[in-house]
Amino acid sequence: MNQDSFIRSLRGELKGLDPHEIEDIVADYCEYFRDGIASGRTEEDIASSLGNPRHLVRELRAESSIKQWEERKSGGNFVRMLGALVGLGFLNLILLGPVLAIITVLFALFVASIALLIAGVAALLVAAPGSGLDQLVTINLPDLDMSSEDSAAFVGLILVFVGSAWTILNYYLSKWTGTLLIKYARLNFQLIKGTA
């Protein structure tokens, strides 16, 4: 493999990353080739000692996804980071199980909190005077007289409040899970051999 084919294959593997980052990474490896050639090595020799572009990109990708997650803790970034770490083999099948279970629980908690919010808003709408919704929706709870607009409003407020609190709690719980996952991945980074 010469410099051209190494860089081409590197670019191919890097597809999907931030364009600036791709250019930066490509520039890094081009610089390496320049320095190597200047010291009298052949392109083929340099390319083979650099290693397989696919393996290099796996590490670069994992690093870039961790950085993105640290910069912006969104669900999408979390999934991307998880994917990159799985690609690196940090999360093997044994560990992937528990991680997926935790994510499922987090997801279920989110669904529950959204359901609470929706129920709360619905109850408030029912209570809103003149909405006419109380004709459409009837809520029957043993100890609650939902026919009264006041109690519907009360229940609605409580549901919205609990739902919001729950959502916030979930948010921090997910963030914390992600941070823990990074710690684990970093530990692995350091344990994996420097030779490929």
Q: Binding residues for another protein, per CB under 8 A?
A: 25, 27-32, 34-36, 39, 46, 49-53, 55-56, 59-60, 63-64, 66-67, 70, 189-196
Q: Which is nearer to another protein, 7 or 133 (CB)?
A: 7
Q: Which is nearer to another protein, 50 or 160 (CB)?
A: 50
CB of 80 to another protein, least distance (A): 16
Burial class (CB in 10 A: 0-12, 13-18, 19+), 64: buried
Owner of token pair 């999408």: 76
CB of 14 to another protein, least distance (A): 12
CB of 41 to another protein, least distance (A): 10
Q: Which is nearer to another protein, 123 or 185 (CB)?
A: 185
Q: Which is nearer to another protein, 59 or 149 (CB)?
A: 59
CB of 177 to another protein, least distance (A): 20
| Terminal alpha carbon distance of the chain | 17
Cα 69 to Cα 59, 89, 106, 175, 177: the distances in Å are: 15, 19, 17, 9, 12
- What is the per-residue burial (b if ≥16 Cβ within 10 Å, else e) of 47-62? beebeebeebbbebbb
